[in-house]
Structure 1
Amino acid sequence: MSHRIRAATDDDLQHLYEMAKLTGGGFTNLPPDRRALKAKLDRSHEAFARQDEAIEDELFVLVLEDVATGEVRGTCQIFTRVGQRHPFYSYRLGTLTQASKELGRTFRAEMLTLTTDLEGASEVGGLFLHPGERAGGLGLLLARARYLFIAMHRKRFADRILAELRGVIDEAGGSPFWDGLAGRFFGMNFQDADQFNATNGHQFIADLMPKHPIYTAMLSDHARSVIGLPHPSGRAAMRMLENEGFAYENYCDIFDGGPTMTARTDAVRSIREARASRIIAVDRDGGAEALVACGHMADFRCTFGLVREAADGIVLSVEAASALGVGEDDHVTHVGRL
């Protein structure tokens, strides 16, 4: 069965809504709200339609499509420049060292400081794969297709890139981090705050969040223990990001405490190793497994394929060529499958 990544269209709204209902909360970029999802699609259409290459605050929504049935089975998003419409807040975990000569003791205290350090970076996010498709590397296809899209439209993206991973959520859908910190100031539970943020933006954080550093020693043991930890379902995603060159540099989400991973855009493995080649032939004689992409903006498509290097181009597998709608003399961008 063959799958491809393509630009989302208005016809995908129902599919996105059905997937959003399966996320289980804490998934800000894919809220189970039709109005919010339609707004995302509208914003994505505008981004795909723009032709100049200046970096603006834009969103691209991509979907995973079963080529045979046309069903949408996953989605992912790319933000070109965060923090322009609304402040992009993170907590930065730092250490304050203080010494007392009289006592002859040194104290080191961990602190969470509200920051907009990551403002202006690009972001990869909103990745969700239908539970029925979590095999065959489709999550990897969704994740890495975003990097090929960035490589093929590099001028539209910033020099720094981030990815926020969902933090620890309990069985009741609550967040130990939220309950131990922000929830005390907002008078609302995590689910309500998460939904409000997904549909209305971050401004209420700026209005109500305490601006002074928070000593982690003042939090409950449970809240403190989940700082910078991904949700169990996100551990594989964290390893995938690390394989691409992302690192956790003590930034975490202000809602659930999940880790924010960062990298230099041109150092991301799939972007750095992506190559543009001409297809000199299409056959069934095998080759190395790769991600293969083609098309500009809304015509972007990406799939798995077999690629054989040749002196003046590549030979591409029949299935990949069919999924992408390409043939001999067309150009594609490809990178080896990890």
Structure 2
Amino acid sequence: MSFRIRAARVDDLQHLYEMAKLTGGGFTNLPADRDSLTKKLERSDRAYQSNSNVQGDDLFVMVLENVETGAVRGTSQLFTKVGQTWPFYSYRLSTLSQTSKELDRTFSAQMLSLVTDLEGASEVGGLFLHPGERAGGLGMLLARSRYLFIKEHRDRFGDKIFAELRGIIDEAGGSPFWDGLAGRFFGMSFQEADYFNAIHGNQFIADLMPKHPIYTAMLSESARAAIGVPHPNGRAAMRMLENENFSYDGYVDIFDGGPTMIAKTDDVTSVRNAKSARISALGKGDTKVIISHGKLSDFQATYAMLSEQDDGVMIDEQAAANIGLSVGDEIGYIPR
């Protein structure tokens, strides 16, 4: 089977809704709510139709499509500038050291502070791959094709970029971090708060959350253990982000305590190493790569076998057919 990445359309709603029901919670960017998903797709469509060359408050939704059947089997999202519609909150983990001369001892305490440090940055998020397709590198295709899109539309994105990884969620769908901290102030379960945030935004956090730092020693052991730890299903995603030059700098999600991975946009490995070339021939290449072609709503990406030549690159015919390429077309590409 062959797959391609393309811009999401409004008529992809049913596909996204069915996938949203499979996430198991904690995916704020992919709520199982038709109205919210429709608004996302409409917002994405406006972004794809805009020819702006400056960073704005845009959302680009992409989908992974089976070329043979047309079935949508995965999705991912790009936010060009967070914190514009409502504040973007994170917890920042820091350490305070204090010394007592009388006791001749120094005490170090970890604290969580509510911050909006990441406002104005871009975000890669909303990545979900259908459970039936978690093989063959399709997750990597979904994730890394976004960086080719960023490279092609660099002016639309900020100088800093981040990704929030889902935190620890138990078998009942609860979050030990939420239960040990924010849940005590809101009178709602993690699933209720997560769903409310996905539908209405997180202004209620600003309204109700204490603004002073929280000493982690006052949290339950299970809550402390969840700080900055990704969900078991997200460990591969964390390694993939680390390979792209993202790092964990002590920022965690305010709902489940999952780690936020941050990078300078131009230092992201796939952005920095992306190349462009003209297709000089169709044939059997010798290196597996991810290729892309087109701008905005015409953007598409797929896996290809590629060989670099003196007058351009040669790619395999199946890859060319996947995204409608011919000899003479310009592509972007990165090694797999």
TM-score bracket for the superposition, by shorter chain length: over 0.9
Could you tell me which residue of structure 1 aligns to residue 71 of structure 2? Answer: 71
Partner Cα separation in structure 2 for residue 312 and residue 120 of structure 1: 41
Normalising to structure 1: TM-score of the pair?
Answer: 0.99
Could you tell me which residue of structure 1 aligns to residue 176 of structure 2? Answer: 176
Could you tell me which residue of structure 1 aligns to residue 124 of structure 2? Answer: 124
Q: What is the 5 A alignment of 1:162-201?
A: 162-201=162-201
Could you tell me which residue of structure 1 aligns to residue 254 of structure 2? Answer: 254
Could you tell me which residue of structure 2 aligns to residue 267 of structure 1? Answer: 267
Confirm or deny that 1:83 pairs with 2:83. Answer: yes
Partner Cα separation in structure 2 for residue 265 and residue 323 of structure 1: 28
Could you tell me which residue of structure 2 aligns to residue 97 of structure 1? Answer: 97
In structure 1, the gaps of 5 or more residues are none
Q: What is the 5 A alignment of 1:1-338?
A: 1-283=1-283, 285-337=284-336
Partner Cα separation in structure 1 for residue 303 and residue 103 of structure 2: 64
Q: Deviations over 1:66-91 (max 9, x none)?
A: 00000000000000000011100000
Where 1:119 maps in the other structure, the secondary structure is: coil
Normalising to structure 2: TM-score of the pair?
Answer: 0.99
Partner Cα separation in structure 2 for residue 288 and residue 178 of structure 1: 46
Partner Cα separation in structure 1 for residue 201 and residue 52 of structure 2: 27
Partner Cα separation in structure 2 for residue 311 and residue 268 of structure 1: 28
Q: Deviations over 1:175-208 (max 9, x none)?
A: 0000000000001110000000000001111101
Partner Cα separation in structure 1 for residue 285 and residue 79 of structure 2: 36
Q: CA deviation at 1:291?
A: 0.2
Partner Cα separation in structure 2 for residue 319 and residue 167 of structure 1: 38
Partner Cα separation in structure 1 for residue 143 and residue 235 of structure 2: 14
Residue identity opposite 1:299 in structure 2? D
Partner Cα separation in structure 2 for residue 11 and residue 318 of structure 1: 29
Q: Deviations over 1:145-196 (max 9, x none)?
A: 1111000110100000000000000000000000000000001110000000
In structure 2, the gaps of 5 or more residues are none
Percent identity of equivalent pairs: 65
Where 2:148 maps in the other structure, the secondary structure is: helix
Q: CA deviation at 1:324?
A: 1.1
Residue identity opposite 1:4 in structure 2? R
Residue identity opposite 1:322 in structure 2? A
The number of residues matched between the two structures is: 336
Partner Cα separation in structure 2 for residue 46 and residue 54 of structure 1: 15
Q: CA deviation at 1:293?
A: 0.2
Residue identity opposite 1:304 in structure 2? Y
Residue identity opposite 1:275 in structure 2? K
Residue identity opposite 1:256 in structure 2? D
CA RMSD after TM alignment: 0.5
Residue identity opposite 2:32 in structure 1? P
Q: CA deviation at 1:286?
A: 2.7
Where 1:197 maps in the other structure, the secondary structure is: helix
Partner Cα separation in structure 2 for residue 277 and residue 262 of structure 1: 30
Q: CA deviation at 1:312?
A: 1.9
Partner Cα separation in structure 2 for residue 268 and residue 320 of structure 1: 25
Partner Cα separation in structure 2 for residue 50 and residue 289 of structure 1: 33
Moved over 6 A (4+): none
Where 1:31 maps in the other structure, the secondary structure is: coil
Partner Cα separation in structure 2 for residue 279 and residue 208 of structure 1: 56
Partner Cα separation in structure 2 for residue 13 and residue 32 of structure 1: 11
Partner Cα separation in structure 1 for residue 290 and residue 22 of structure 2: 27
